[in-house]
Chain A
Amino acid sequence: GENVEQHPSTLSVQEGDSAVIKCTYSDSASNYFPWYKQELGKRPQLIIDIRSNVGEKKDQRIAVTLNKTAKHFSLHITETQPEDSAVYFCAANIWSGGKLIFGQGTELSVKP
Protein backbone atom coordinates (compact mmCIF):
# COMPACT_ATOMS: atom_id res chain seq x y z
CA GLY A 1 0.00 0.00 0.00
CA GLU A 2 0.91 3.66 0.10
CA ASN A 3 3.81 4.44 2.39
CA VAL A 4 5.98 7.40 3.32
CA GLU A 5 9.31 6.88 5.07
CA GLN A 6 10.86 9.84 6.91
CA HIS A 7 14.41 10.24 8.22
CA PRO A 8 15.94 11.01 10.60
CA SER A 9 13.60 10.46 13.54
CA THR A 10 15.55 12.98 15.64
CA LEU A 11 17.84 15.80 14.58
CA SER A 12 19.84 18.15 16.76
CA VAL A 13 21.57 21.21 15.31
CA GLN A 14 23.24 24.35 16.59
CA GLU A 15 21.47 27.64 16.11
CA GLY A 16 22.39 29.08 12.74
CA ASP A 17 23.15 25.72 11.15
CA SER A 18 21.02 24.13 8.44
CA ALA A 19 18.69 21.17 8.93
CA VAL A 20 17.56 18.67 6.31
CA ILE A 21 14.76 16.13 6.67
CA LYS A 22 14.17 13.53 3.97
CA CYS A 23 11.14 11.54 2.89
CA THR A 24 10.54 8.75 0.40
CA TYR A 25 7.11 7.83 -0.94
CA SER A 26 5.89 4.66 -2.61
CA ASP A 27 2.89 5.71 -4.73
CA SER A 28 4.14 7.07 -8.04
CA ALA A 29 0.72 8.70 -8.58
CA SER A 30 1.37 11.09 -5.67
CA ASN A 31 1.67 14.68 -6.81
CA TYR A 32 1.18 16.75 -3.68
CA PHE A 33 3.74 16.89 -0.86
CA PRO A 34 3.07 19.03 2.22
CA TRP A 35 5.18 19.54 5.32
CA TYR A 36 3.64 20.11 8.74
CA LYS A 37 5.23 21.53 11.88
CA GLN A 38 3.93 20.54 15.30
CA GLU A 39 5.18 22.51 18.27
CA LEU A 40 4.97 20.98 21.71
CA GLY A 41 1.37 20.75 22.88
CA LYS A 42 -0.02 22.27 19.68
CA ARG A 43 -1.72 21.06 16.52
CA PRO A 44 0.21 20.30 13.30
CA GLN A 45 0.26 23.25 10.92
CA LEU A 46 1.19 23.42 7.26
CA ILE A 47 4.48 25.26 6.68
CA ILE A 48 5.16 24.58 3.01
CA ASP A 49 3.95 22.31 0.23
CA ILE A 50 5.01 21.41 -3.29
CA ARG A 51 3.27 19.92 -6.28
CA SER A 52 4.92 17.56 -8.72
CA ASN A 53 5.10 20.07 -11.54
CA VAL A 54 7.95 21.91 -9.78
CA GLY A 55 11.24 20.65 -8.40
CA GLU A 56 11.81 23.22 -5.67
CA LYS A 57 9.91 25.78 -3.65
CA LYS A 58 11.23 28.33 -1.16
CA ASP A 59 9.64 30.45 1.52
CA GLN A 60 12.14 32.56 3.43
CA ARG A 61 14.32 30.15 5.44
CA ILE A 62 12.54 26.97 4.41
CA ALA A 63 12.62 25.14 1.12
CA VAL A 64 11.36 21.86 -0.22
CA THR A 65 12.91 19.88 -3.07
CA LEU A 66 11.28 17.05 -5.01
CA ASN A 67 12.84 14.29 -7.08
CA LYS A 68 9.96 12.47 -8.75
CA THR A 69 12.17 9.94 -10.46
CA ALA A 70 13.63 8.77 -7.17
CA LYS A 71 10.38 9.45 -5.28
CA HIS A 72 12.22 11.56 -2.72
CA PHE A 73 11.41 14.96 -1.26
CA SER A 74 13.23 16.95 1.39
CA LEU A 75 12.72 19.89 3.74
CA HIS A 76 15.59 22.31 4.15
CA ILE A 77 15.71 24.85 6.96
CA THR A 78 18.54 27.39 6.85
CA GLU A 79 19.81 29.65 9.64
CA THR A 80 17.92 27.61 12.21
CA GLN A 81 16.54 29.33 15.29
CA PRO A 82 15.37 27.90 18.64
CA GLU A 83 11.75 28.51 17.61
CA ASP A 84 12.25 26.01 14.77
CA SER A 85 12.39 23.27 17.43
CA ALA A 86 9.36 21.05 16.83
CA VAL A 87 8.27 17.78 15.27
CA TYR A 88 8.07 17.94 11.48
CA PHE A 89 5.90 15.61 9.38
CA CYS A 90 6.09 15.07 5.66
CA ALA A 91 3.13 13.71 3.70
CA ALA A 92 2.19 12.61 0.21
CA ASN A 93 -1.10 12.45 -1.66
CA ILE A 94 -2.78 12.83 -4.98
CA TRP A 95 -3.81 16.50 -4.91
CA SER A 96 -7.44 16.79 -3.83
CA GLY A 97 -7.39 13.06 -3.20
CA GLY A 98 -8.66 11.40 -0.07
CA LYS A 99 -5.94 10.69 2.42
CA LEU A 100 -2.63 12.28 3.22
CA ILE A 101 -0.06 9.59 3.96
CA PHE A 102 2.18 10.94 6.72
CA GLY A 103 5.77 10.11 7.51
CA GLN A 104 6.78 9.03 10.99
CA GLY A 105 7.92 12.50 12.06
CA THR A 106 11.27 14.13 12.85
CA GLU A 107 11.93 15.81 16.18
CA LEU A 108 14.15 18.79 15.46
CA SER A 109 16.02 20.40 18.34
CA VAL A 110 17.85 23.69 17.74
CA LYS A 111 20.35 24.43 20.49
CA PRO A 112 21.16 28.07 21.22
Chain B
Amino acid sequence: EADIYQTPRYLVIGTGKKITLECSQTMGHDKMYWYQQDPGMELHLIHYSYGVNSTEKGDLSSESTVSRIRTEHFPLTLESARPSHTSQYLCASRELSEQYFGPGTRLTVT
Protein backbone atom coordinates (compact mmCIF):
# COMPACT_ATOMS: atom_id res chain seq x y z
CA GLU B 1 0.00 0.00 0.00
CA ALA B 2 1.31 3.46 -0.89
CA ASP B 3 2.12 5.22 2.34
CA ILE B 4 4.80 6.91 4.38
CA TYR B 5 6.41 4.99 7.23
CA GLN B 6 8.44 6.03 10.24
CA THR B 7 10.44 3.95 12.68
CA PRO B 8 10.71 3.76 15.56
CA ARG B 9 7.34 5.09 16.66
CA TYR B 10 8.56 5.70 20.21
CA LEU B 11 12.12 6.07 21.49
CA VAL B 12 13.54 6.82 24.93
CA ILE B 13 17.29 7.34 25.04
CA GLY B 14 19.93 8.86 27.27
CA THR B 15 21.74 12.14 26.74
CA GLY B 16 24.69 11.98 24.38
CA LYS B 17 23.48 9.01 22.33
CA LYS B 18 23.48 9.05 18.55
CA ILE B 19 20.15 8.19 16.96
CA THR B 20 18.68 7.89 13.49
CA LEU B 21 14.99 8.29 12.80
CA GLU B 22 13.89 6.40 9.71
CA CYS B 23 11.41 7.61 7.10
CA SER B 24 10.37 5.80 3.94
CA GLN B 25 7.65 6.45 1.40
CA THR B 26 6.35 4.19 -1.33
CA MET B 27 4.66 6.88 -3.43
CA GLY B 28 7.68 7.85 -5.51
CA HIS B 29 7.54 11.46 -4.32
CA ASP B 30 10.57 13.65 -4.94
CA LYS B 31 9.86 16.14 -2.15
CA MET B 32 10.31 15.04 1.46
CA TYR B 33 10.28 16.96 4.74
CA TRP B 34 11.02 16.63 8.44
CA TYR B 35 8.99 18.58 11.01
CA GLN B 36 9.40 18.91 14.74
CA GLN B 37 6.14 19.25 16.68
CA ASP B 38 5.29 19.38 20.35
CA PRO B 39 1.83 17.85 20.93
CA GLY B 40 -0.89 19.98 19.37
CA MET B 41 1.51 22.79 18.62
CA GLU B 42 3.06 24.37 15.52
CA LEU B 43 4.72 22.32 12.80
CA HIS B 44 8.36 23.45 12.60
CA LEU B 45 10.17 22.54 9.38
CA ILE B 46 13.70 21.38 10.20
CA HIS B 47 14.89 19.77 6.92
CA TYR B 48 13.65 19.17 3.41
CA SER B 49 14.73 17.55 0.18
CA TYR B 50 13.60 18.00 -3.42
CA GLY B 51 15.18 14.81 -4.67
CA VAL B 52 18.16 12.49 -4.45
CA ASN B 53 21.30 14.24 -3.18
CA SER B 54 19.30 17.39 -2.40
CA THR B 55 18.94 18.51 1.24
CA GLU B 56 18.21 21.89 2.80
CA LYS B 57 17.82 23.22 6.32
CA GLY B 58 14.38 24.37 7.28
CA ASP B 59 13.08 27.33 9.20
CA LEU B 60 13.81 25.97 12.68
CA SER B 61 17.44 25.62 13.65
CA SER B 62 18.19 22.01 14.39
CA GLU B 63 21.25 20.07 15.46
CA SER B 64 20.16 17.15 13.31
CA THR B 65 21.33 16.14 9.84
CA VAL B 66 19.61 14.35 6.97
CA SER B 67 20.59 12.44 3.86
CA ARG B 68 18.76 11.52 0.64
CA ILE B 69 20.58 8.75 -1.17
CA ARG B 70 17.42 7.04 -2.43
CA THR B 71 14.13 8.61 -3.47
CA GLU B 72 12.10 6.62 -0.99
CA HIS B 73 14.34 7.07 2.07
CA PHE B 74 14.99 10.23 4.11
CA PRO B 75 16.60 9.46 7.49
CA LEU B 76 17.26 12.07 10.19
CA THR B 77 20.25 11.73 12.52
CA LEU B 78 21.00 13.32 15.87
CA GLU B 79 24.71 12.93 16.63
CA SER B 80 24.36 13.66 20.35
CA ALA B 81 20.86 13.70 21.78
CA ARG B 82 19.93 16.23 24.47
CA PRO B 83 16.80 16.68 26.61
CA SER B 84 15.90 19.72 24.46
CA HIS B 85 15.45 17.31 21.53
CA THR B 86 12.49 15.70 23.28
CA SER B 87 9.60 16.14 20.85
CA GLN B 88 7.62 14.46 18.09
CA TYR B 89 9.26 14.23 14.67
CA LEU B 90 6.99 14.00 11.62
CA CYS B 91 8.20 13.03 8.17
CA ALA B 92 6.20 14.05 5.10
CA SER B 93 6.31 13.71 1.33
CA ARG B 94 4.68 15.57 -1.51
CA GLU B 95 4.48 15.58 -5.29
CA LEU B 96 2.18 18.17 -6.84
CA SER B 97 -0.30 19.27 -4.21
CA GLU B 98 -1.30 17.07 -1.28
CA GLN B 99 1.35 16.54 1.37
CA TYR B 100 1.26 13.22 3.20
CA PHE B 101 2.55 12.84 6.73
CA GLY B 102 4.01 9.82 8.41
CA PRO B 103 2.73 8.64 11.81
CA GLY B 104 5.61 10.31 13.65
CA THR B 105 8.36 9.32 16.07
CA ARG B 106 7.92 10.42 19.65
CA LEU B 107 11.42 10.97 21.06
CA THR B 108 12.24 11.36 24.75
CA VAL B 109 15.80 12.14 25.81
CA THR B 110 16.52 11.58 29.49
Interface residues of B in 66-86 (CB under 8 A from A): none
Judge if A61 is at the interface, Cβ distance under 8 Å.
no
- The answer to whether B42 and A98 touch across the interface, beta carbons within 8 angstroms, is no
Bound complex: CA of A87 vs CA of B43, how far in Å? 11
Binding site for A on B (CB under 8 A): 31, 33, 39-43, 45, 48, 50, 90, 94-99, 101-104
| Shortest Cβ distance from residue B103 to the other chain A in the assembled complex, whole angstroms | 5
**Which chain B residue shows the least CB distance to A105?**
B42
Bound complex: CA of A6 vs CA of B31, how far in Å? 25
- The answer to whether A46 and B102 touch across the interface, beta carbons within 8 angstroms, is no
Judge if A54 is at the interface, Cβ distance under 8 Å.
no
Bound complex: CA of A96 vs CA of B50, how far in Å? 11
Given the known A-B contacts A43-B103, A46-B99, A89-B43, are A98 and B90 also in contact in the complex, defined by CB atoms under 8 Å? no
Contact of B99 among A34, A38, A40 (CB under 8 A): A34
Contact of A107 among B40, B43, B96 (CB under 8 A): B40
Q: A43-B90, A104-B42, A105-B41 are in contact. List 14 more A-B contacts (CB 8 A).
A: A32-B97, A34-B99, A40-B40, A42-B103, A43-B101, A43-B102, A43-B104, A44-B43, A44-B101, A49-B97, A96-B95, A98-B31, A99-B45, A99-B48
Judge if A20 is at the interface, Cβ distance under 8 Å.
no
Binding site for B on A (CB under 8 A): 32, 34, 38, 40, 42-46, 49, 87, 89, 95-96, 98-100, 102, 104-105, 107
Bound complex: CA of A99 vs CA of B45, how far in Å? 9
Given the known A-B contacts A105-B41, A107-B40, are A100 and B50 also in contact in the complex, defined by CB atoms under 8 Å? no
**Which chain B residue shows the least CB distance to A46?**
B98
Contact of A49 among B48, B98, B104 (CB under 8 A): B98
Given the known A-B contacts A44-B43, A107-B40, are A98 and B99 also in contact in the complex, defined by CB atoms under 8 Å? no
